[in-house]
Amino acid sequence: MTGPEIPESHPRYESLLTRHRIEEGVDLGITSKQGLIAQGRGEAFDYLLGEETIPSADAAERVAAAHLLAAERPVISVNGNVAALAPGETVALAAATGADIEINLFNRTDERMERIAEHLREHGAERIKGLAADGRIPGLDHERAKVDADGIGSADVVLVPLEDGDRAAAIAETGTTELVVDLNPLSRSAKAATVPIVDNVLRAVPNVTAHAEDLAGADEAALAELIGSFDAEATLDAAEERIRSGGPSCDRLT
């Protein structure tokens, strides 16, 4: 993708660049128009968080990395916005953790699935699931119920950035460990997650990758200890307090 003519000195440079990525994703046929609305909603929460990774989010990202490394069948779920915003970052995370990448869409068409798959391949992806759609998530009646039986359908850990609340809840009901990136700590997705990551996906995915690389040599006991010490409710509380206070003084997790 080519960037817009926005000077880096512009005070909203990163925000405007992110919006352009979503717009271009629509033009390429990989992002739905509804994705524009979702991006705007997320941007509002990011603004309230100070547009930075707060300590509680960084701690959650490290635990998410531990889950992915400890998993037997980890999968990273990708929708249109994730494909537009962080394709290379997603591929890098998959490589660092041995996870599969699976495309999952609410507004699903064969053409759009293929375009996203090709877009991910252009950024280095080799194993892409979601096209077979030979499995289903119980309790869902829409297109996001369709999954690959040997992908999300049998995964023990799933990273679901920018998730739909009902699918997040349905995945949680299956007993799958669910890692959710969501800028709204009050959302159904964040509350359903085993590990809620209240952060911008553009920061969260590279951060999880960095933690995974740092933990690559850790043994099972060390990963289990890190996973067992995590408190999802306290993580959500810390993010909500940051949003309400508008400053870092209320971060309680380090």
Give the mean pLDDT of the chain: 89
Task: With respect to residue 194, please indicate whether it lies within any of the assigned structural domains.
Answer: yes
CATH of the domain at 92: 3.40.50.12640
Question: What is the phi/psi pair of residue 6, to 5°?
Answer: -120, 120
Cα angle: 186, vertex 36, 187; to 5 degrees: 10
- 81 within a domain of the structure (yes/no): yes
In a domain, 253, yes or no: no
Burial class of residue 80 in the structure, from the number of CB atoms within 10 Å of its CB (0-12 exposed, 13-18 middle, 19+ buried): buried
| Overall domain count for the chain | 1
157-202: pLDDT as tens digits: 999 987 778 888 899 999 999 999 999 999 999 999 999 999 999 9
Sheet holding 128-129: strands in order across?
Answer: 128-129, 100-103, 74-78, 157-161, 177-181, 195-197
* In-domain check, residue 237: no
Q: Is 82 within the bounds of a domain? A: yes
Dihedral Cα 14, 17, 19, 22, nearest 10 deg: -130
| Segment 237-246 mean pLDDT | 93
Does pLDDT of 251 surpass 70? Answer: no
User: What residues make up the domain containing 89?
Assistant: 55-228
In a domain, 136, yes or no: yes
Amino acid sitting at position 121: R
pLDDT at 11: 56
Provide the pLDDT for residue 53: 97
